[in-house]
Amino acid sequence: SLSFHFQLHYESLMIYYTIREILKRIKGKILIVVPNINLVIQMGGDFKKYGWDCDELTLLCAELKKDVDFSKRVLVSTYQSLLLKETDFFEEFEAVIIDEVHLAKEEKKLTKILQTSINAEYVLGYTGTLPDPILSRMNINAWIGDVLGIITAKELMDRQILSPLQIVNLLIKYPDSFIKMNKNRSFPEEVSLVENLEERNIVIDKILDHQAPGQNTLILFTHLNHLALVEKHILEKYRK
C-alpha cells in the first residue's frame, strides 16, 4: 500500500491529479471515501471545476436521492453509505483513497473498507491535520501505510505556489458601559447582540479601506443572518 499525507487544505486538487494518473495505470475502479455528505458533493463539484467532465464519476450518498451508476470508474462516498455494502462490493476497486484521513482514526471505519478491498494496488490517505495522539497515528499507519510526504503551507509559500500570508490578530474592545450593560445576558443573546452591532462594521470598513486595488477579501461567518447583515452594509457602502 502507499500513503501520501499532506498538510494542505486543497486535498481535492491533489486527489484529482492522483486519480487521473491512477486511471491511466489500472483497468479497474477507484473508491474515494470522504467523512461527510457535504464533501461528497463538494468533491464532485471540485473535479468539474478542475476541468473534468466527470463522465467516469459517480457520487453515493442518501441525500442525493438518485440512482447511482456503479459502472463508472470513480466512486465518491461516505463511510456511512459504504458500511451498508456487502464485502464483495469492494473487490472491484484497484485504488482506495481516504480523504481527511485523520477523521478515520477509529479502526471500525477503516476495517471493513480496507480489509475487503483485496484488489486495491493503491491505498492513499490525505489530510491537512495529522493526529497528535501516537495511537491514532499508528492506527492510520497500520491500515494505510507510513507517511511519505509532508508539506507545510509555509514551504508552499516559500516555493511561491501559495500566495504569501501574513496573519494580523485584531482584538476588538467594547466600551466598558456596553460590557456592563450586557454582562448578564445568556450566550445566545450575547452572540445575537454582537452580530447585530453596527459599530463592528467600522472595523471591517477600516480593513477594506486599506486593501490595495485588485486584492481580494475573504470574510467568514458562523451564522447566515450575520453574513446577510454585513453583506448589506458592504454593498450599501462600497457598491459603485
The set of cell numbers assigned to 216 is: 481580494
Higher-confidence residue of 204 and 165: namely: 204
Model confidence at 65: pLDDT above 60 = no
CA separation, residue 18 to residues 108, 126, 148 (Å): 26, 11, 15
Tell which residue, 185, 182, 129, 95, has the closest CA to residue 7: 129
Summarised one tens digit per residue, pLDDT across range 127-162 is: 777 666 666 667 677 667 777 777 777 888 898 877
- In the structure, what pLDDT confidence band is assigned to residue 4 with cuts at 50, 70 and 90? very low
What pTM, to 2 d.p., does this model score? 0.63
Summarised one tens digit per residue, pLDDT across range 167-223 is: 888 888 888 888 888 888 898 888 888 888 888 888 889 888 888 887 778 888 888
Instruction: Name which of 30-44, 103-117, 201-215 the model is least confident about.
Output: 103-117
